[in-house]
Amino acid sequence: MSDAQSTWHLDGGRALTLAAGAEARRLSVARGRVWLTLSGTTDQPAEDTWLEAGQAVALAPGQVAVLEGWPAADFELLVPPTAVASRPARAGRRFLLGGALLSR
């Protein structure tokens, strides 16, 4: 993985299993071509598909994906930000900023 771009590289002839996640994710191919197998359910069988550079697929919560670069590929696995319940500001709340404790 490249820290600067959050892009993963997959060499040809190597398979990678993306374990099931608790949240929906998006797999996006940045370069090359990927052979992708998505896990199935009792109602829908496993599915194989090809993804080219610029294409993406949504992974449902709990879905496993196995991918292989043909011949090699770069991809991103995107996870949407978790919604945080907004809380009203409270008087007397304290914050830690640069090692100093601030009071409101």
pLDDT tens-place string over residues 85-98: 334 555 554 443 43
Would the pTM count as exceeding 0.85? no
Per-residue model confidence as pLDDT tens digits over 10-66: 998 899 999 998 889 999 999 999 999 999 878 888 989 999 999 999 999 999 999
CB 66 within 8 A of CB 2: no
* CATH superfamily entry for domain 8-81: Jelly Rolls (2.60.120.10)
Residue 4 has pLDDT above 90, yes or no: no
Q: Please tell me what DSSP assigns to residue 24.
A: -
* Total residue length of the chain: 104
DSSP secondary structure, 34-102, as one string? EEEEE---SSS--EEEEEETT-EEEE-TT--EEEEEEEEEEEEEE-PPPP-------TT-EEEETTEEE
